[in-house]
Amino acid sequence: MERTQLIKDMLAAKHKAAISYQDLAAAVGRHRVWVASALLGHAQLTEVEASALLRRLGFAADTEQIGCLSQPPQRGAVATIPAEPVLYRLFEIIHVHGPAIQAVIQEEFGDGIMSAIDLEIDIKRLDHPAGDRVQITYNGKFLPYRSW
Amino acid sequence: MERTQLIKDMLAAKHKAAISYQDLAAAVGRHRVWVASALLGHAQLTEVEASALLRRLGFAADTEQIGCLSQPPQRGAVATIPAEPVLYRLFEIIHVHGPAIQAVIQEEFGDGIMSAIDLEIDIKRLDHPAGDRVQITYNGKFLPYRSW
Amino acid sequence: MERTQLIKDMLAAKHKAAISYQDLAAAVGRHRVWVASALLGHAQLTEVEASALLRRLGFAADTEQIGCLSQPPQRGAVATIPAEPVLYRLFEIIHVHGPAIQAVIQEEFGDGIMSAIDLEIDIKRLDHPAGDRVQITYNGKFLPYRSW
Amino acid sequence: MERTQLIKDMLAAKHKAAISYQDLAAAVGRHRVWVASALLGHAQLTEVEASALLRRLGFAADTEQIGCLSQPPQRGAVATIPAEPVLYRLFEIIHVHGPAIQAVIQEEFGDGIMSAIDLEIDIKRLDHPAGDRVQITYNGKFLPYRSW
Amino acid sequence: MERTQLIKDMLAAKHKAAISYQDLAAAVGRHRVWVASALLGHAQLTEVEASALLRRLGFAADTEQIGCLSQPPQRGAVATIPAEPVLYRLFEIIHVHGPAIQAVIQEEFGDGIMSAIDLEIDIKRLDHPAGDRVQITYNGKFLPYRSW
Amino acid sequence: MERTQLIKDMLAAKHKAAISYQDLAAAVGRHRVWVASALLGHAQLTEVEASALLRRLGFAADTEQIGCLSQPPQRGAVATIPAEPVLYRLFEIIHVHGPAIQAVIQEEFGDGIMSAIDLEIDIKRLDHPAGDRVQITYNGKFLPYRSW
Amino acid sequence: MERTQLIKDMLAAKHKAAISYQDLAAAVGRHRVWVASALLGHAQLTEVEASALLRRLGFAADTEQIGCLSQPPQRGAVATIPAEPVLYRLFEIIHVHGPAIQAVIQEEFGDGIMSAIDLEIDIKRLDHPAGDRVQITYNGKFLPYRSW
Amino acid sequence: MERTQLIKDMLAAKHKAAISYQDLAAAVGRHRVWVASALLGHAQLTEVEASALLRRLGFAADTEQIGCLSQPPQRGAVATIPAEPVLYRLFEIIHVHGPAIQAVIQEEFGDGIMSAIDLEIDIKRLDHPAGDRVQITYNGKFLPYRSW
Amino acid sequence: MERTQLIKDMLAAKHKAAISYQDLAAAVGRHRVWVASALLGHAQLTEVEASALLRRLGFAADTEQIGCLSQPPQRGAVATIPAEPVLYRLFEIIHVHGPAIQAVIQEEFGDGIMSAIDLEIDIKRLDHPAGDRVQITYNGKFLPYRSW
Amino acid sequence: MERTQLIKDMLAAKHKAAISYQDLAAAVGRHRVWVASALLGHAQLTEVEASALLRRLGFAADTEQIGCLSQPPQRGAVATIPAEPVLYRLFEIIHVHGPAIQAVIQEEFGDGIMSAIDLEIDIKRLDHPAGDRVQITYNGKFLPYRSW
């Protein structure tokens, strides 16, 4: 069973039955952003989580399907600048404000980085009279550089 | 007067006098991330803000210095994938979790994007027994695609 | 049902029946440039619009076809410089006259950009004795940079 | 005399004396977008135009300065995707709507392109209660492909 | 009917029946370089030309085949430096002698370019005792830059 | 003595004294395109040619200057796609018509290439009522692939 | 008949029957490096050579197979730096020693190049007590730059 | 003392005194290709070799000069495809014949590579009535892949 | 038999039967990292090793399968920067600490490199109270540059 | 005081006085690889370490010098594939064996990465009769992906 095909089928089932990522998150017991990442093939589900996700989408959740989703995912392939406008805006923020973010982190925490592995992401809708706003929050462990 | 040189001198003064971005933010009346972006040449200060920033760093804040900082900044030049580790982690998040972020935004808001222009950024330190955490928040206006 | 295949079939039907983008625009109740973008998979139709578009091209406009066209489109993939001569000329205009356009916008409006999301595009033919002319008009909302 | 240095000095003079591109356009007898392109080094002034431009900015307009501005300009060097946000939005429009623009031009005019050489550009401010709008107009000669 | 497949079949038929581009040119009433470009999918045939070309190659020249060849071609996709040695030599000539060609054109004609659209190409064999020579001629309309 | 500086000075002298490439060609006894290539640093002059070129431009033509111009030139450095519009059109011709040129050469001459080394280039102005035309001619030795 | 498929089948036959490139070279009457290039699709066989090559590998050598191998090959597509270690070492030699090779050739022969078309390649094994050595020899015609 | 400047001065001295790489090779007791590589900064001279090289070129060969030349060289920086025609031909040989070279080496020697480090290069002029030929020989140790 | 397909089947069998790389290494008589490289198609197995590997995974180990695995592997294709996070970290180490590694190797060993061919790799888990650690060891032969 | 210049001066002093990285490591109380990274500008020294390093190299170790070395370093700029042979071999190991390393780490540790931040590097010389060997050891914390 190909993971790529299974993902395609699951997305089609989600679309057809109008199940939201929040619904899937409730079934799996995880955050909707993480569940979206897992469903799109960029995070690794446990067998229990895989089973819950498959059932919520109306799949049999047999051993093969569960095995397929609980393998380590292959994240990315070749680094490229995204052209899709939602993703590009996230890239542009790094390009324009990245040096400021780096300067403030290093002043606040010292020499180190925010982990992209021990990381949680949250997305919220903020109502606003001049137009609602998207709030994206990254929450990652600070990792200091080691001297040895 | 070259903006590049003025920025260099201001950063040197900041370093020498051990003034934090928070100190500068207080003087200017803006957020420390935005002030860092402005100081690094990626945001545009008003004349009043430029004057306050210059004085806090011990500069004369003469007409030329103020004029130099209140010009429209030239943001970026050629898009490249950053090698600096703090910035690369922000890029990797897009590469790995970008599709999930895009899927959740579009499910929640419909067809559109989070603005990278009408945007605020916040950075907070979260204390944690297993190691403190960096919290970065983007708060941007949702812009729906226009049909015409 | 694959969107790519549906688009291919719709373009073939349009070609065979010699239906113009103006005809499609009249059926959908939208501008011909926007309808061309939607038909080529870069804009999102409402269900009513999708139905009108499909019927004008002689399709059944069943639930699956409508659902397929009213999903959020995936715009672009990797940013590249176009080699196709019509598109390259548009790129060259940015390369040669982009700095002037930027300078005039910023002088006229202050620090900000023209939105590529809240945007309308029009194309007109201008008769001219020395050879007819193409007139392309972008009409986008000005978005000022936010200070915070 | 280096053209690069002369341009720098002229931009500084323009900034210091708060002369707008419209003022320069009036002095030269040309459109402000074209004058901005010429001042930034991407269009070629006649000797009369160069003289008028220099004088309006308070320069002597001697033979060397005029000769410097009336040489053929060297437009661009290496094609790159722009990272500056105003320019990137113009690029994104090509990426997202380029195929639609191409399809409509070719349906309307037949097989050919809009010239990027025999081209005029206009920028207007459109007042709008929900926020003013930028209107950019390209007006270029249609060039049909030649069969031979 | 896919254009790509039709081209493949036509090239196979040309190869099998040992028909030269000159033969095809005679049948179509056009130059052999242009006919080669059209056959390879980079130029647009009229319906009459398409019919003549198809018949010369032994095809039925039915409505669908003619319609397929008389659509606007999609020229190129992503600009890349060619590795094929014949094409690379043409690229190297630009790299080495391009600045000289540009300088001579601009001295002779003023500020402008040679059109790549209103263009004819000819290839001739020149007999020579030290080895025959290839003569490639570009004949393109001079397009002066417009001031406005 | 730096070749780069000498070339700069020679171009300035040519510009100041309004000497054309044809004038230089007459002085050197070579074609104006080749002389332009040599002056711009992409062809190698003999000592006699270098001396003639220098004198025509009003230089002393001392040993050092002659030695500087008669060294092997360093042609190009990194291959890039040109953004300058005159050069880009030459590149686009390869991209669009290159496969046709390759096909016709190989049909006419067999398996091989047109040399970019044993090559002459000519540029002519062709008067035309609908606008004068640029005629560029490449005349290069055919080099057959060797089997061994 | 697809050339790609025929090559694949011939390589499989060569592997299965344990025929060396030297065996093939003997059958064809050419050098083993050239035969390897031809078999891999980068050199053009005559009909006689193609027939001999096919028969040695146990193929029928019918008209279609011979026609397929005796067409002009399409060498390369897009220039890229090779990652395969054998090929990369050849690239690294250019990167490290290329300037020295260029300097010595130009000192010895004058301004010109070694042809990559009129070229023979030989590979020999040199026995050596500290480990056998690979000897690769390029033998290419010197082509002097033409002045005109 | 900058190595770059010293190399420049040595090349100027070599040019002025018309000393060939063969002369330098004789003085140093090494091959002219290797000496060219060392002089151009891509090989490391011993102190004795550095001294001999410097003296042959008329330099004092003081401690600083010798120390400068006997440091480990920094070979290359960023891998790029060379545009210089002599170097490009060497690159094209890899592109066109590289797979054949790889196939023959691996058939002859087994799984491994020719070293680019334990390598000698020779260049010879071969007289030939149809034009002299360049013979470049690489002689590198075969390195078998290790299984462990 | 396609190597790609055989590898896919073998990986599926390994996954299904929960056989670790250590199990495979024991069966083959090699290190688990090398066996993983060989299984993934980047190292060459002997016929005996191929047979042992196939049998341990439950395959018949027939002549064709063994022949398929004991061919020289095709390592890599085009050099790219990896986006997969595990691989990117290995790349970042070169980017950040590469110059230091180079400096220490050259100080310790003289002018030369660590071989990537005569190389062994080991991976160990180190228990640690603050979180276990990965230890990767490269053990490669030092290859001194040859002077000749 | 520019960090770049200070590093240059310190490297020159190290070279002149023949101080090894091991000597510097002893003075600073750190590993020689880390000290090399710090000296080359890719790691951050404490003020005490900076002072010890400066003095060992014969510098005054004044406040400005110490402040310069104890700032957060700017690691890398644009990610590129290294051409320098020592660094390229490290890159090739990722390209060839990276997938195996990734597979073994994930089998041994689960879904996660080896940190490039909480990392130590060691380099040892291993005596060997067939030629000494370089042993490079990475020791980095395993970071498991977080589910949330």
- Residue B77 pLDDT level (bands cut at 50, 70, 90): low
**Three-state secondary structure readout of chain F:** CCHHHHHHHHHHHHHHCCCCHHHHHHHHCCCHHHHHHHHCCCCCCCHHHHHHHHHHCCCCCCHHHHHHHCCCCCCCCECCCECCHHHHHHHHHHHHHHHHHHHHHHHHHCCEEEEEEEEEEEEEEECCCCCCEEEEEEEEEEEECCCC
Instruction: State yes or no: pLDDT of D79 exceeds 70.
Output: no
Give the residue numbers in A contacting J (CB under 8 Å), as ranges.
Answer: 30-31, 34, 43-44, 46, 49, 72-73, 79, 106, 110-113, 115, 117-121, 143-148
ipTM of the complex: 0.91
β-bridge partners, H135: G139, H124
Residue F62 C-alpha from the chain's centroid: 25
Catalytic one of B3, B20, B115, B133? B115
Of A79, A120, A145, the CB nearest to J146: A120
Three-class DSSP category at G59: coil
Of G71, G76, G117, the CB nearest to E83: G76
Please give the pLDDT value at position E41.
87
| F15/D79 CB distance under 8 A | no
Three-class DSSP category at D23: helix
CA angle in degrees (0–180, nearest 5) for B111-B117-B120: 100
pLDDT, chain J, mean: 90
Residues in A touching J73 (Cβ below 8 Å): 111
Q: How distant is the Cα of B101 from the closest Cα of chain D, in angstroms?
A: 20
β-bridge partners, A143: A113
Residues in H touching E86 (Cβ below 8 Å): none
Q: How far is CA J35 from CA G13, I90, I98, I108, J120, in A?
A: 57, 20, 13, 15, 12
Q: Comparing B66-70, F134-138, J28-32, which segment has the lowest mean pLDDT? A: B66-70
Q: Quick count: other Cβ atoms within 10 Å of Cβ E15?
A: 12
- What is the tens place of the pLDDT at every residue in D92-133? 999 889 988 998 998 899 889 999 999 999 999 999 999 999
Pairwise CA distance, residues D136 & C101, whole Å: 9
Residues in I touching B81 (Cβ below 8 Å): 81
pTM score of the predicted model: 0.89
Pairwise CA distance, residues E124 & E131, whole Å: 14
Pairwise CA distance, residues C140 & D123, whole Å: 11
Residues of chain I with pLDDT under 50: none
Residues in D touching E147 (Cβ below 8 Å): 30, 34, 43-44, 46, 49
Residue F144 C-alpha from the chain's centroid: 24
- What is the tens place of the pLDDT at every residue in F32-84? 999 999 998 888 899 999 999 999 999 999 988 998 888 878 786 556 788 88
Residue E80 C-alpha from the chain's centroid: 18
Q: Are F3-69 and F85-144 the same fold in CATH?
A: no
Please give the pLDDT value at position I1.
61
- Residue B71 pLDDT level (bands cut at 50, 70, 90): confident
Please give the pLDDT value at position E125.
96
| B117/D80 CB distance under 8 A | no
**CATH assignment, E85-143:** 3.30.1160.10
Q: How distant is the Cα of A129 from the closest Cα of chain J, in angstroms?
A: 32
Give the residue numbers in A contacting D (CB under 8 Å), as ranges.
Answer: 81, 83, 85, 88, 92, 95-96
Pairwise CA distance, residues G2 & H121, whole Å: 40
Instruction: State yes or no: pLDDT of H35 exceeds 60.
Output: yes
Q: Are chains C and E in contact at 3+ CB pairs closer than 8 Å?
A: yes
Instruction: State yes or no: pLDDT of J1 exceeds 70.
Output: no
Helices within I32-133 (DSSP H only): 32-39, 47-56, 63-69, 85-109
CATH 2.30.130 fits D3-69, yes or no: no
Q: Comparing A76-80, D140-144, E117-121, F124-128, which segment has the lowest mean pLDDT? A: A76-80
- With b for 16 or more beta-carbon neighbours within 10 A and e for fewer, the C39-68 pattern comes to bbbbbbbeeebbbbbbebbebebeeebbeb
Please give the pLDDT value at position F77.
54
Three-class DSSP category at D16: helix
| Assigned token pair, F11 | 């171009």
Place of tokens 């922000």: B90
| D116/F85 CB distance under 8 A | yes
Give the residue numbers in B contacting D (CB under 8 Å), as ranges.
Answer: 67, 71, 74-79, 116-117
User: Percent of chain F at pLDDT above 90?
Assistant: 65
**Three-state secondary structure readout of D34-98:** HHHHHHCCCCCCCHHHHHHHHHHCCCCCCHHHHHHHCCCCCCCCECCCECCHHHHHHHHHHHHHH
Pairwise CA distance, residues J43 & J71, whole Å: 9
CB B20 within 8 A of CB A87: no
β-bridge partners, I82: A78
**Relative orientation angle of helices G21-28 and G32-39, to the nearest 10 degrees:** 100
Pairwise CA distance, residues J50 & F136, whole Å: 64
CB B69 within 8 A of CB D15: no
Q: Comparing B74-78, E110-114, G55-59, G79-83, which segment has the lowest mean pLDDT? A: B74-78
Q: How many CA atoms lie within 13 A of A136 on its CB side?
A: 29
Neighbors of chain C by Cβ distance (3+ pairs < 8 Å):
A, B, D, E, F
- What is the tens place of the pLDDT at every residue in A41-98? 888 899 999 999 999 999 999 988 998 888 878 786 556 788 889 999 999 999 889 9
Q: Are chains E and D in contact at 3+ CB pairs closer than 8 Å?
A: yes
Chain J residue at shortest CA distance from A105: J72
Q: Which residues are CB-contacts of J88 (< 8 A; sequence separation ≥ 6)?
A: G88, G92, H79, J81, J82
Pairwise CA distance, residues I146 & I144, whole Å: 6
- What is the tens place of the pLDDT at every residue in B92-115? 999 889 988 998 998 899 889 999
Query: Which residues of F are designated catalytic?
Result: 89, 92, 115
Pairwise CA distance, residues H78 & H80, whole Å: 6
Q: How distant is the Cα of H62 from the closest Cα of chain G, in angstroms?
A: 25
- Please name the CATH architecture into which domain I85-144 falls: 2-Layer Sandwich (3.30)
Domain ranges of chain E: 3-69, 85-143
| H80/F78 CB distance under 8 A | yes
| Assigned token pair, I49 | 């090793």
Give the residue numbers in A contacting I (CB under 8 Å), as ranges.
Answer: 67, 71, 74-80, 116-117
Please give the pLDDT value at position E78.
56
Catalytic one of C55, C75, C89, C133? C89
Instruction: State yes or no: pLDDT of C94 exceeds 80.
Output: yes
Q: Are chains F and A in contact at 3+ CB pairs closer than 8 Å?
A: no
| Assigned token pair, B76 | 């970026």
In terms of Cβ atoms closer than 10 Å to its own Cβ (0-12, 13-18, 19+), residue I7 is middle
Q: Which residues are CB-contacts of C76 (< 8 A; sequence separation ≥ 6)?
A: A82, A83, A84, A85, D95, D96
- Residue H79 pLDDT level (bands cut at 50, 70, 90): low
| E146/D117 CB distance under 8 A | yes
Q: Quick count: other Cβ atoms within 10 Å of Cβ A142?
A: 21
Paired sense of beta strands B133-144 and A133-144, if any: antiparallel
Residue G115 a catalytic site member = yes
Residues in J touching G81 (Cβ below 8 Å): 81
Instruction: State yes or no: pLDDT of C77 exceeds 70.
Output: no
- Residue D3 pLDDT level (bands cut at 50, 70, 90): confident
* Arithmetic mean of pLDDT, J87-93: 93
| Assigned token pair, F125 | 């102005």
**Three-state secondary structure readout of J31-95:** CHHHHHHHHCCCCCCCHHHHHHHHHHCCCCCCHHHHHHHCCCCCCCCECCCECCHHHHHHHHHHH
- What is the tens place of the pLDDT at every residue in H114-142? 999 999 999 999 999 999 999 999 999 99
* Arithmetic mean of pLDDT, D13-25: 92
Residues in A touching D93 (Cβ below 8 Å): none
Q: Which residues are CB-contacts of H11 (< 8 A; sequence separation ≥ 6)?
A: H39
Chain G residue at shortest CA distance from I70: G15
**Relative orientation angle of helices E21-28 and E47-56, to the nearest 10 degrees:** 140
pLDDT, chain E, mean: 90
Q: How distant is the Cα of B131 from the closest Cα of chain I, in angstroms?
A: 11
CB B42 within 8 A of CB A96: yes
- What is the tens place of the pLDDT at every residue in J21-42? 999 999 999 999 999 999 988 8
Q: Which residues are CB-contacts of H38 (< 8 A; sequence separation ≥ 6)?
A: H28, H30, H44, H45, H49, H53, H69
Pairwise CA distance, residues C130 & D141, whole Å: 9
pLDDT, chain A, mean: 90
Residues in G touching J96 (Cβ below 8 Å): 85
Residues in E touching H85 (Cβ below 8 Å): 92, 96
Instruction: State yes or no: pLDDT of J78 exceeds 60.
Output: no
Q: How distant is the Cα of D122 from the closest Cα of chain A, in angstroms?
A: 26
Q: How distant is the Cα of F31 from the closest Cα of chain C, in angstroms?
A: 32
Neighbors of chain B by Cβ distance (3+ pairs < 8 Å):
A, C, D, I, J
D-to-E residue pairs, Cβ atoms closer than 8 angstroms: 61
Q: How distant is the Cα of A123 from the closest Cα of chain I, in angstroms?
A: 23
Pairwise CA distance, residues H89 & J113, whole Å: 42
In terms of Cβ atoms closer than 10 Å to its own Cβ (0-12, 13-18, 19+), residue J50 is buried
Total count of residues recorded for chain A: 148
| B75/D81 CB distance under 8 A | no
Please give the pLDDT value at position H131.
93
Neighbors of chain D by Cβ distance (3+ pairs < 8 Å):
A, B, C, E, F
Pairwise CA distance, residues D84 & C102, whole Å: 10
Torsion, Cα B105 B107 B108 B114, to 10 degrees, reads 20
Q: How distant is the Cα of H77 from the closest Cα of chain F, in angstroms?
A: 13
Neighbors of chain A by Cβ distance (3+ pairs < 8 Å):
B, C, D, I, J
- Residue C1 pLDDT level (bands cut at 50, 70, 90): low
* Arithmetic mean of pLDDT, A105-113: 91
Of I83, I85, I96, the CB nearest to B85: I96
- Residue E137 pLDDT level (bands cut at 50, 70, 90): very high
Residue B92 a catalytic site member = yes
Neighbors of chain J by Cβ distance (3+ pairs < 8 Å):
A, B, G, H, I
| J83/H74 CB distance under 8 A | no
| Assigned token pair, G122 | 């030989």
Pairwise CA distance, residues E77 & F95, whole Å: 9
Please give the pLDDT value at position J83.
85
Instruction: State yes or no: pLDDT of F117 exceeds 90.
Output: yes
Pairwise CA distance, residues G114 & G108, whole Å: 12
Tell me the residue type at I108. E
Please give the pLDDT value at position B88.
92
Please give the pLDDT value at position A127.
95
User: Percent of chain E at pLDDT above 70?
Assistant: 97
Please give the pLDDT value at position E82.
85
- What is the tens place of the pLDDT at every residue in I42-63? 888 999 999 999 999 999 999 8
Please give the pLDDT value at position A1.
61
